[in-house]
Amino acid sequence: MGNLKISEWRKLPVSLAELCIDTTLRCGQSFRWKKAVDEDYWSCTLHGRIISLKQDSTHLHYRTIFPEVKDSLHHQPVVKKEELEDENEEDDKDDTESLLRHYLNLSPNLTEMYEQWSLADPNFKKRAPKFTGVRILKQDAWEALVGFICSSNNNIIRISQMVNNLCLHYGPLIGHIDDQPFHDFPQPEALTGSGVESHLRALGFGYRAKYIAQTASIVASKPKDWLENLRNPETFDHPFEGEVPAGGRPGYRKAHEELLELQGVGPKVADCVCLMGLGWGEAVPVDTHVWKIAQRDYRFGKGKHKSLTKATYDAIGDHFRGLWGKEAGWAHSVLFAADLKTFSDKLVSKVEVKVDELEVKQENGDVLEKKVAVKREYPSEEVDIKEEKVVIKREGVTDEIEVKDEVKVFEPSARSVRAKRRKL
């Protein structure tokens, strides 16, 4: 296989309740995982290798592609999908399993955590069953920082495009799967050149180009382990004991404050980095989705918390920390995923079928034509999907009018919410 070393598919015992990669890898945490066209696996570069993941109900399956010659990363051969299954290169030094256990944060028992949050919060208990296995990743802090600077006034699709463009132009090439290149994430030093900002603007980064270039220069000028030293030193094997103080633990507050000194980093971006890049579980990023959730389900948006001010932002975080505990950011991410249109298919709850028959008659009473309308409705609290089919019968000939699908995501009115509460 030329200069690429490809492992066989290996597996880890992980249930879908403990990790669902189809949700976790596309819910706005990491922006570089790509799902292969017409395939059932996800791929990404991590620590100088390409890792592919797929999953069944009981196991996580993974495959690793290493560049044989690490000094020539920009000249790797193309790997064909049909050839990947035939390669069984074994490498005693392959540490991919330990890397995955770390990156996917597999130590905590997620099922137990869901149970605790459900006992504490009826709203979580109501929404979580359709979003099991949402796990907070342990990403590289630098990658998380840049990714969430790109998230400002943006959506997941565009953020992913920006991050992948950044890797394509500034990250080392690891190899190809078919014709798709896979680059590792660029280090800060790669983004400190004089032409970086203008180049990023040309690539469509907009005002974020300046923030990325300036932040890269700041981070590159600091001690090498500056970001990593802001990481939560505690682990799930040696957890923090006791109640989380208002505003979070001192280490979290210190990390948050230092991140705010960087260009393009506000409270939300700092909290995203703290949660998904530095391991501070009590960090609760509040964006437009979470603000909507706080108003809809937790009675924010009134009185002194009518708008999303700094005081309201802090109050939402403290409310969720008091409700869910030191891993409030994990629970928040489950509700965040439940609010994304990407996963609206999970919210379809039941099917109702209605059949209406209409007759068109002439003056003498003879039936000229008969119309049979079949309506299918799939109601749920957030999604209303309707299909309608009209069958017209004329003199023994049946015509079908095209099926119309409408997907509408809506918010219940204040009146309907109050009525529902009265019923409860």
Catalytic residue among 5, 138, 268, 326: 268
The question of whether 80 is a catalytic residue gets the answer no
Residues linked to residue 61 through DSSP beta bridges, in sequence order: 11, 54
Return all residues near 400 (Cβ < 8 A) that are at least 6 apart: 389, 390, 391, 392
Q: Are the C-beta atoms of 33 and 25 separated by less than 8 Å? A: yes
Return all residues near 45 (Cβ < 8 A) that are at least 6 apart: 32, 51, 167, 171, 174, 182, 183, 184, 185
- Determine the length of the chain: 424
Exposure letters 42-53 (e unless 16+ CB within 10 A, then b): bbbbbeebbbbb
User: How far from 143 is each of 214, 216, 364, CA to CA, in Å?
Assistant: 15, 11, 77
- Give the residue among 63, 69, 99 at the shortest CA–CA distance from 84: 63
What is the SS3 assignment for 404? strand
What is the SS3 assignment for 316? helix
Distance CA 408, CA 415 (A): 20
> Which one-letter amino acid corresponds to residue 225?
D
Distance CA 421, CA 424 (A): 5
Return all residues near 29 (Cβ < 8 A) that are at least 6 apart: 136, 137, 139, 276, 333
- Give the residue among 320, 332, 225 at the shortest CA–CA distance from 275: 332
Residues linked to residue 51 through DSSP beta bridges, in sequence order: 44, 64
User: How far from 100 is each of 47, 63, 66, 277, 304, CA to CA, in Å?
Assistant: 11, 11, 15, 15, 44
The label of the residue with tokens 């990947």 reads 84
Decide: residue 86, CB within 10 A, 0-12 exposed, 13-18 middle, 19+ buried: exposed
Exposure letters 156-186 (e unless 16+ CB within 10 A, then b): beebbebbbebbeebbbbbbbbeeebbbbbb
Which residues participate in catalysis according to the annotation?
268
